[in-house]
């Protein structure tokens, strides 16, 4: 049987509700989208309010696309619907596609976008200097500026932790970090110990009453070692390099023998390890020029001096190494030790 569209009169393979797919689309009976989309975002952190929750890990375009997909009305015979959406100024430009029988149909829409800006509950707490936990960061060795800067950069540039910090106080003896969530404070402390080596202890402080319930604030004492990989130390009087550290363990590589020594940080004696001041030694660029039995011949690339030293690491002729000059003696540091 021949089929004709009652609107345009065209003979088509199929008609739906008396119309061909193009006319059905033209009359707005395929896709019906909202005229306006209203969303609420945080003016400080940019998170989006989704129902009764604030979500920070969803781009606004993705959220708008989800709103369109969930609110639009689609003709009962349309299948394989897809939505594309972009934001241009105060409008959403959307394109909707689908299959109507054997025909692919698509339509473009311009939708008004209203964005309300408020502060989310988390940012209200941050601006109000509110905190539920205090992370006290201290170090076993001297709290050097380079160590402090490394920790601050780690914390403040972290997408995970920075959004939960309401205050940072720099002290001579360390750093105090105010965190608005106790669970996140524990994660922050654990992350610092995992990265820099150390251990933690916790205590509670009475914070009064709220809604008739007693509240307490958590204090996490985060005791970090205070050393960094490649620091030069004396281990029981012999030069060594910090090989690795993390958790409650630090490993030193003895430059006299190449031996790795592992220490448990909470039980480590400061009589065993001394951090060398940078002014007390020289660290020079050098190259391996020969290997003789258990000796390595190393040339200082700056002054051309040649040293015959114990072979304490796997190196080959031509390998670039460092020379440590300390106490009138020279020691080789393989770049694999750095």
Is residue 111 very low, low, confident or very high in pLDDT (cuts 50, 70, 90)? very high
The mean per-residue pLDDT over the stretch 289-304 comes to 92
One domain, residues 41 and 88: yes
Best CA proximity match to 175, nearest among 221, 128, 131, 217: 221
Residue range 67-84, pLDDT digits in tens? 999 999 888 888 899 999
What span, in angstroms and rounded, lies between the C-alpha atoms of 179 and 202? Answer: 14
One domain, residues 40 and 83: yes
3-state secondary structure (DSSP) of residue 181: coil
**Last-in-domain residue among 118, 137, 158:** 118
Containing structural domain, residue 266: 232-337
One domain, residues 153 and 238: no
- Helix (H) or strand (E) run with residue 25 in it: helix 21-26
Best CA proximity match to 285, nearest among 266, 275, 306, 299: 299
What percent of the chain is modeled with pLDDT above 70?
A: 94
Domain with residue 326: its CATH number is 2.40.50.140
One domain, residues 217 and 245: no
List b or e across 145-178, with b for residues whose CB sees 16 or more CB atoms inside 10 angstroms: eebbeebeeebeeeeebebbbbeeeeeeebbbbb
Dihedral sign, Cα of residue 207, residue 209, residue 210, residue 216:
positive
Total structural domains in the chain?
Answer: 3
10 occurs within a structural domain: no
With a cut of 80, say whether residue 64 has pLDDT above it: yes
One domain, residues 250 and 327: yes
Q: How much is the mean pLDDT over the chain? A: 89
20 occurs within a structural domain: no
User: What is the number of other CB atoms lying within 10 angstroms of the CB of residue 182?
Assistant: 16
pLDDT: is 142 or 26 the higher one? 142
**Last-in-domain residue among 118, 143, 174:** 118
One domain, residues 111 and 154: no
1 occurs within a structural domain: no
Residue range 219-259, pLDDT digits in tens? 999 999 999 999 999 999 999 999 999 999 999 999 999 99
């Amino acid at each position: 049987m021949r089929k004709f569209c009652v609107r345009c009169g065209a003979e088509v393979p199929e008609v739906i509700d008396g119309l061909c797919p193009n006319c059905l689309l033209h009359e707005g009976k395929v896709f019906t989208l909202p005229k306006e989309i209203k969303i609420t975002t945080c003016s400080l952190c940019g998170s989006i309010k989704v129902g009764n929750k604030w979500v920070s890990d969803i781009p606004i375009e993705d959220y708008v696309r989800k709103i369109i997909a969930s609110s639009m009305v689609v003709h009962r015979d349309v299948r394989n619907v897809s939505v594309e959406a972009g934001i241009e100024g105060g409008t959403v430009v959307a394109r909707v596609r689908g299959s109507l029988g054997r025909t692919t149909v698509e339509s473009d829409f311009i939708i008004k976008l209203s964005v309300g800006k408020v502060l989310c509950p988390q940012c209200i707490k941050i601006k109000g200097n509110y905190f539920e936990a205090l992370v006290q960061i201290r170090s076993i060795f001297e709290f050097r500026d380079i160590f402090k800067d490394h920790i601050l950069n780690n914390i403040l540039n972290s997408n995970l932790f920075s959004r939960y910090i309401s205050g940072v106080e720099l002290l001579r003896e360390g750093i105090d970090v105010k965190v608005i969530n106790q669970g996140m404070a524990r994660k922050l402390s654990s992350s610092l110990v995992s990265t820099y080596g150390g251990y933690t202890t916790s205590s509670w402080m009475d914070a009064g009453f709220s809604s008739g319930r007693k509240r307490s604030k958590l204090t996490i004492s985060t005791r970090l070692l205070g050393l960094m990989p490649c620091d030069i130390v004396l281990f029981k009087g012999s030069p060594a390099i910090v090989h690795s550290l993390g958790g409650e363990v630090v490993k030193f590589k003895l430059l006299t023998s190449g031996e790795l020594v592992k220490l448990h940080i909470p039980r480590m004696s400061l009589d065993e390890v001394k951090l060398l001041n940078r002014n007390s030694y020289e660290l020079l660029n050098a190259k391996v020029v020969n290997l003789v039995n258990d000796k390595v011949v190393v040339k200082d690339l700056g002054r051309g001096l040649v040293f015959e030293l114990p072979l304490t690491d796997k190196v080959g002729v031509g390998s670039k190494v460092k020379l440590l000059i300390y106490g009138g003696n020279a020691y080789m540091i393989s770049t694999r030790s750095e």
